[in-house]
Structure 1
Amino acid sequence: MDQRLLRETIQDTWRTDALASLSEFVSIPALSPAFDAWWASNGHLHAAVEHLRRWLVSRQLPGAVVDVVKLPGRTPLLLLEIPASGATTEDTVVLYGHLDKQPPAGEWSPGLDPWTPVVKDGRLYGRGAGDDGYAGYAASTALEALHRAGGKHARTVVLLETCEESGSPDLAAYLGHLRDRIGRVGLVVCLDVAGGDYERLWLATSLRGIAFLDLTVRVLDSGVHSGHSSGLVASSFRVVRQLLDRLEDSRTGEMLLPELSVVIPEDRLAEVRLAVAEGGLRPELPITEGVRTATDDPVELVLNNTWRTTLSVTGASGLPSLEDAGNVLRPFTGLKLSFRLPPTIDAEVALEAITRALTTDVPYGAKVEIGRPAGASGWNAPKLAPWLATTLDKVSVEVFGEPWRALGLGGTIPFLGLFAETYPDAQFVVTGPRGPGNNAHVPDEWLHLEQTERVTEAVARILHAHAGE
């Protein structure tokens, strides 16, 4: 393969056609169904799919088949199939991305707007540029560059869904529907994560799961003057505090239920220590002046965020605003509880344990209601095959000038667990050009254009290596 031509093709495509088309994609307000109940009639998701469909068709990849797949009542899915070129393996490669977007999420900086693309200082600003509009362009550009440079690739399926930001509720149905068409998968390349910096290739090797529920504790049928009732009936808030103390040590944040803890694998510990030692994995958070982090140990901070269960109270009911609060013993307190779970914990088992702890032998016989329980298990990457480990070592140094590094992610991406279950023998490359400060999900989202070129080249070379492994 002509590696110089490969790089030149990728750079030229990204700096011209791909950037122009991705900029147009930014202008489509393709909100995920969780944020647009009328998505089917509004048509923005379909417009995003059609925009990428036209792009893929226009690239004229040899033997390519581009289809929009629509199951009744579900969001559309865009599929690109390309036959193998010079490969010795009969496995299929799946390249994944998504086309749905988060809402604007507040005011953007002057001169910026969620639906108006702006290129400035090597970045493309706009909603969906980095999460995850670039993915379809990176996948097709990598394949196109391979063909021009004389490279190889196995049979490849590019799969772009439109409900990832809503938790991918339709993806399982599509993977089942397309099982025979996709075939036996040997490699999954996911383009939808962020790394620790913009200087090297980063691979995500684990993701936390999630469990959440509404907890409501009721002690009265209606509010009562606190002077008449306090001391006679326990406050609902005090009962809530006692119940939460069954789950978490409030001094340390440590979980008290054995179902919420795991032994952290040694290889993941080694990854964290190496990345931290090199100065990576430093979170950028708007911490209030004078506030300390949970620990001063940077390794423990990363492990807290990737391999330990954490509890966050993300909402409340039954509590009036400070301005409106009177001298009343409130009838109930409701809290939204969100648990981030270690990658290897079964979310259903965790939910059962949490529910049991909150509803058994409740103090004072208070009435406990559990509402809207749900969860999704995390993901832990399989051990790298020798060919992939060797390829990553070579490609990272030659493309980025730095060795690649791995990291766990504190968030939850349900489709990765689904892919791991559906394709148990596949290798996984979970990567992307996003990094610190990219603002996915919040105002001023942007995509680092030079890093996107490098990640695209890395993906192309990984596909080439896989074809001959």
Structure 2
Amino acid sequence: MTPEEIENAVAAGMPQTIEDLKALVAIPSIAFPGHPEEPVHKAAELTENLLRSAGLPRVERIDLDGGFPAVYGEAPAPPGAPTVLLYAHYDVQPPGDPALWKTPPFEPTVIDGALYGRGAADDKSGVITHVAALRALQGRWPVGIKVIIEGEEEYAGESLARFIESSPDLVRADAIVVADVGNPRVGEPALTTSLRGMAAFTVEVRTLAGAVHSGAFGGAAPDALAALMRMLTTLHDENGDVAVPGLPRGTFPGEAYSEEEFRATAGVLDGVSLVGTGSLADRLWASYAITVTGLDVPSVAQAVNAVQAVARARVTIRVPPSGDPAQAIEVVTEHLKKVAPWGAHVTFSDFTTGAGFRARGEGRARAAVERAMARAFGRPPREVGQGGSIPLVAALARQFPEAEILLFGPEDDHASIHAPNERVDLEELRRTITTEALFLAEYAKG
């Protein structure tokens, strides 16, 4: 197919593409413990049907030990042509407080050219990008195609990585496209070449056998919540930089946003300063970051006049590509034990890790995707990093060191992924689908 034929096919297919994305977003496929499992399996079934609709001769669900199913598709390579693996995930983050959403999170709604709903961007738009790009080729595969769509990326599940380690030939490819990232701004194409890894754990502090009256015992009884707060504040210095010994700063070779752009994108309130020192690129993409993402203590609405016996926090560490997530957990947990006041009892549980990634230099696939992206967007892409992690990417890089891994997608920094009012810009989705379809044709040319 010519580039014009590919572009026209993508554009003609957009109405169906949008309807398919709506159907997928409507399924609350949350793979976290405590949420219903049936919707996750329903999303896997729909993903399987969507890949079948793209004309792949082989499509199947793969049941994974200890996890939700992956969906696999394949079309053989023409003689002499390379093979491309396409990756995305159909599971989503929990929606959080529904009152913070302008529209119900699982009732996909189009407003001003964008589709709103949990997972509309992260990462059901990635699933649909692969489906629509393959449909546009109309069964005329210029390269070998393999597709793997998983259902537990948001929970950082490891069952797919274990499966790939035991069955590498199933997903072996010359190039790997990961459609789980995006561009800094709508219409400004980017290739992600660096991902921070992730480590997380729960810390529990106990000081009393049970909560006691704050009037009768306050002032002498050790408060577990106060102890935990004192411990957590030692994780950063007065500038907001990570203050834990053993977690060095890093540098990123490219440029990030301006401070004004970042403040607008992050929604930083007037008069509130950013935290940390050094360039934004270094802080966001190449250095450690520690965030307290949850607390188990009485809410204000349920507060009673008591000294707390126990308090818990969920702590997340973003790890630069060169760092070791397991070592980061060891360093931070040892630090918290060391600074715990009053002899408080400190324990840790619920450990999660995911390695980072840094792309290697220019190759045949990288050159092809840059040409495809420049045509689809009308401008060449720039190189960016991502502060988030995609656990499977590091596993693929270890398993297939010669494969080129390309990260791009239809998300953007205003898409509100993991937050209320998540959305994907539909024109950005069309441009990304066009990029992928053009890339598959360009890559075949060598």
Band the TM-score falls in, shorter-chain normalisation: 0.7 to 0.9
Q: 1:263 to 1:232 in 2, by over 3 A?
A: same
TM-score (norm 1): 0.83
Q: Which residue of 2 aligns with 1:11?
A: 11
Q: 1:413 to 1:86 in 2, by over 3 A?
A: same
Pair 1:366 & 2:344 matched: yes
Q: Which residue of 2 aligns with 1:80?
A: 73
Residue identity matched to 1:157: K
Q: Which residue of 2 aligns with 1:159?
A: 148
Kindly provide the CA deviation profile for residues 196-242 of structure 1, in whole angstroms up to 9, marking residues without a partner as x: 01112222222222222333344444456667767767655665466
Residue identity matched to 2:242: M
Kindly provide the CA deviation profile for residues 357-388 of structure 1, in whole angstroms up to 9, marking residues without a partner as x: 23348554433222333332222222232x34
Q: Which residue of 1 aligns with 2:287?
A: 308
- Offset of residue 281 of structure 1: 5.8
Equivalent of residue 123 in structure 1, options 111, 114, 122: 114
Task: Tell me if structure 2 keeps the 8 A contact 1:122–1:449.
Answer: yes
- Taking the aligned partners of 1:104 and 1:239, their CA distance within structure 2 comes to 31
Q: Which residue of 2 aligns with 1:351?
A: 329
Q: 1:177 to 1:248 in 2, by over 3 A?
A: same
Pair 1:49 & 2:44 matched: yes
Q: 1:180 to 1:322 in 2, by over 3 A?
A: closer
Task: Tell me if structure 1 keeps the 8 A contact 2:87–2:177.
Answer: yes
Q: Which residue of 2 aligns with 1:461?
A: 438
SS in 2 for 1:263: coil
Structure with higher Rg: it is 1
Q: Which moved more, 1:412-421 or 1:282-291?
A: 282-291
- Taking the aligned partners of 2:99 and 2:291, their CA distance within structure 1 comes to 25
Q: Which residue of 1 aligns with 2:196?
A: 208
Task: Tell me if structure 2 keeps the 8 A contact 1:213–1:336.
Answer: yes
- The residue correspondences of 1:255-266 to structure 2 (distance < 5 A) are 255-264=242-251
- Offset of residue 121 of structure 1: 2.4
Residues paired across the two proteins, number = 445
Q: Which residue of 2 aligns with 1:23?
A: 22
Q: 1:388 to 1:258 in 2, by over 3 A?
A: farther
- Offset of residue 427 of structure 1: 0.9
- Offset of residue 276 of structure 1: 4.5
Equivalent of residue 395 in structure 1, options 350, 369, 372: 372
Pair 1:175 & 2:168 matched: no
Task: Tell me if structure 1 keeps the 8 A contact 2:231–2:339.
Answer: no
- Taking the aligned partners of 2:228 and 2:34, their CA distance within structure 1 comes to 34
SS in 2 for 1:466: helix
Task: Tell me if structure 2 keeps the 8 A contact 1:32–1:164.
Answer: no
TM-score (norm 2): 0.87
Q: Which residue of 2 aligns with 1:342?
A: 320
Kindly provide the CA deviation profile for residues 222-269 of structure 1, in whole angstroms up to 9, marking residues without a partner as x: 4566677677676556654664566432x02223344322432xxx32
SS in 1 for 2:71: strand
Q: Which runs of 5+ in 2 are unaligned?
A: none
- Taking the aligned partners of 2:417 and 2:148, their CA distance within structure 1 comes to 21
Q: 1:238 to 1:122 in 2, by over 3 A?
A: closer
Kindly provide the CA deviation profile for residues 154-173 of structure 1, in whole angstroms up to 9, marking residues without a partner as x: x2101111112221332113
- Offset of residue 417 of structure 1: 1.6
Residue identity matched to 1:58: S
Q: Which runs of 5+ in 1 are unaligned?
A: none
- Taking the aligned partners of 1:156 and 1:194, their CA distance within structure 2 comes to 22
Equivalent of residue 86 in structure 2, options 95, 105, 108: 95
Task: Tell me if structure 2 keeps the 8 A contact 1:87–1:468.
Answer: no
Q: 1:241 to 1:163 in 2, by over 3 A?
A: closer
Residue identity matched to 1:207: L
- Taking the aligned partners of 1:51 and 1:365, their CA distance within structure 2 comes to 53
- Offset of residue 189 of structure 1: 0.3
- Taking the aligned partners of 1:71 and 1:113, their CA distance within structure 2 comes to 31
Q: Which residue of 1 aligns with 2:271?
A: 290
SS in 2 for 1:284: helix
Q: 1:437 to 1:35 in 2, by over 3 A?
A: farther
Residue identity matched to 2:293: T
- Taking the aligned partners of 1:14 and 1:145, their CA distance within structure 2 comes to 10
Q: 1:11 to 1:87 in 2, by over 3 A?
A: farther
- Offset of residue 348 of structure 1: 0.8
- Taking the aligned partners of 1:352 and 1:201, their CA distance within structure 2 comes to 38
Q: Which residue of 1 aligns with 2:31?
A: 33
Residue identity matched to 1:160: I
- Taking the aligned partners of 1:86 and 1:141, their CA distance within structure 2 comes to 24
- Offset of residue 338 of structure 1: 2.4
Residue identity matched to 2:179: L
Q: Which residue of 2 aligns with 1:107?
A: 99
Q: Which residue of 2 aligns with 1:2?
A: 2
Task: Tell me if structure 2 keeps the 8 A contact 1:200–1:396.
Answer: no
The share of aligned pairs that are identical, in percent, is: 27
Task: Tell me if structure 1 keeps the 8 A contact 2:222–2:307.
Answer: no
Q: 1:3 to 1:35 in 2, by over 3 A?
A: same
Q: 1:428 to 1:100 in 2, by over 3 A?
A: same
Q: 1:109 to 1:389 in 2, by over 3 A?
A: closer
Task: Tell me if structure 1 keeps the 8 A contact 2:31–2:92.
Answer: no
- Offset of residue 82 of structure 1: 0.9
- Taking the aligned partners of 1:361 and 1:450, their CA distance within structure 2 comes to 51
Task: Tell me if structure 2 keeps the 8 A contact 1:281–1:302.
Answer: no
- Taking the aligned partners of 1:122 and 1:217, their CA distance within structure 2 comes to 48
- Taking the aligned partners of 2:226 and 2:350, their CA distance within structure 1 comes to 23
Residue identity matched to 1:57: R
Q: Which residue of 2 aligns with 1:377?
A: 355
Task: Tell me if structure 2 keeps the 8 A contact 1:215–1:337.
Answer: yes
- Taking the aligned partners of 1:122 and 1:337, their CA distance within structure 2 comes to 37
- Offset of residue 188 of structure 1: 0.9
Q: Which residue of 2 aligns with 1:70?
A: 63
SS in 2 for 1:158: strand
Q: Which residue of 1 aligns with 2:175?
A: 187
Q: CA RMSD in A?
A: 3.1
